[in-house]
C-alpha cells in the first residue's frame, strides 16, 4: 500500500475540524494549527501569471548563453521588509542592482488596503526600477528577463512594453532555474548580510557594490571579470556592425 505525504500530514490533524491539538501545534516551527495543502499555497495569489511566458517557453538561444542580453532577476530581502533588486546578465554575469527605497509613510501607521507597497518593492516600484536601469543599455543587451513568481512582477506586461524585454517566469520553488542570479545573490550577502536593514544603503553604495562584483575575476569566465567580458562582447558587436555597413 502506498500513502502520499499529504495523507500523512492530514492524518496528524483532528479529523473534525482539520486542526492540530494545541500541544502539538506548539511544537511546530511555524506554529500553524491548520493544514494548508502545498498545491493550494503554490497557486495562491498568482492571477498575474495568466498571460505570462514560462521558462519552458524560452528559446535555446537563452538556455545555452550563446547570445548576450538575457537577464535573471530577483529581490534580496532584509529587516523590516527592506529589499534590493538584482539583475544578472547570463552570458557575462554582469550585475546591476536596483535601489528600492521605502516610500513616504512607511512604518508610521496602518497599511491601506490595495494601497501602494510602502516597503518600496511593490509591483510598480520594481517595474520602474528595472525599466530605468535596463533602458540605459544598448538594444542588443535588452532581450529577455527571467524572474521567479513573486508578486513584485505583477506589472510584467507593462514592463515588457516599457523595455522591449521578453519576461519569463520560473517554475514554483525552482531557484536553480536562475542559477547565475542565485550565485550572485550569495556573493552579495557579503555586502548585505541577512537580518540587516537594506534600506540604509543608497543608490551610490549599490553602484559601488555592483562595480566590485563586476571587476572580480570569475573562473566561469576563464578568469576574466564580468566587466571585461561585457566590454569584449560590445566591441564584437560594434565591429560586426561596421563590417556590415561597410
- Can you give the residue ranges of every domain in the chain? 5-37, 47-243
What pLDDT score was predicted for residue 50? 77
Query: pLDDT for 90-102, tens place per residue?
Result: 999 999 999 999 8
Q: Are 182 and 147 in contact (CB under 8 A)?
A: no
What pTM was computed for the model?
0.76
Calculate mean pLDDT across residues 8-28: 57
Percentage of the chain modeled with pLDDT above 90: 61
Q: Is the pLDDT of residue 24 over 50?
A: yes
Q: Is the pLDDT of residue 16 over 50?
A: no
Cell readout for 76 is 534580496
d(CA 190, CA 201): 14
Percentage of the chain modeled with pLDDT above 70: 72
- Find, among 142, 172, 176, the residue nearest to 159 by Cα: 142
Calculate mean pLDDT across residues 121-141: 94
119-156-180 Cα angle (round to 5): 80
d(CA 149, CA 162): 20
Q: Name the range with the highest mean pLDDT among 17-26, 59-68, 115-124.
A: 59-68
Q: Is the pLDDT of residue 139 over 70?
A: yes
Calculate mean pLDDT across residues 128-152: 94
Q: How far is CA 220 from the centre of its chain?
A: 22
DSSP-derived secondary structure letter, 138: -
d(CA 237, CA 217): 23
Burial of 2 (0-12, 13-18, 19+ CB in 10 A): exposed
- 47-243: which CATH topology? Nucleotidyltransferase; domain 5 (3.30.420)
Cell readout for 62 is 537563452
How large is the C-alpha radius of gyration of the chain?
A: 21
Amino acid at each position: 500500500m502506498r500513502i502520499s505525504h499529504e495523507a500523512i500530514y492530514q492524518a496528524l490533524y483532528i479529523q473534525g475540524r482539520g486542526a492540530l491539538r494545541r500541544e502539538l501545534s506548539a511544537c511546530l516551527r511555524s506554529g500553524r494549527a491548520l493544514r494548508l495543502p502545498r498545491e493550494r499555497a503554490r497557486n495562491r495569489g498568482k492571477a498575474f501569471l495568466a498571460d505570462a511566458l514560462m521558462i519552458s517557453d524560452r528559446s535555446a538561444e537563452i538556455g545555452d548563453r550563446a547570445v548576450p542580453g538575457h537577464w535573471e532577476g530577483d529581490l534580496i530581502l532584509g529587516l523590516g521588509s527592506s529589499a534590493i533588486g538584482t539583475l544578472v546578465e547570463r552570458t557575462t554575469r554582469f550585475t546591476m542592482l536596483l535601489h528600492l527605497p521605502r516610500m513616504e509613510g512607511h512604518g508610521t501607521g496602518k497599511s491601506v488596503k490595495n494601497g501602494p507597497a510602502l516597503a518600496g518593492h511593490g509591483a510598480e516600484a520594481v517595474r520602474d526600477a528595472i525599466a530605468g536601469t535596463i533602458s540605459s543599455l544598448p538594444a542588443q543587451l535588452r532581450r529577455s528577463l527571467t524572474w521567479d513568481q513573486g508578486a513584485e512582477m505583477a506589472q510584467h506586461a507593462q514592463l515588457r512594453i516599457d523595455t522591449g524585454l521578453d519576461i519569463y517566469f520560473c517554475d514554483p520553488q525552482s531557484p536553480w532555474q536562475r542559477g547565475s542570479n542565485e550565485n550572485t545573490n550569495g556573493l552579495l550577502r557579503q555586502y548585505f548580510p541577512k537580518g540587516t536593514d537594506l534600506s540604509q544603503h543608497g543608490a551610490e553604495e549599490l553602484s559601488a557594490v555592483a562595480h566590485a562584483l563586476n571587476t572580480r575575476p570569475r573562473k566561469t569566465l576563464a578568469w576574466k571579470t564580468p566587466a571585461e567580458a561585457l566590454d569584449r562582447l560590445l566591441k564584437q558587436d560594434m565591429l560586426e556592425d561596421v563590417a556590415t555597413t561597410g
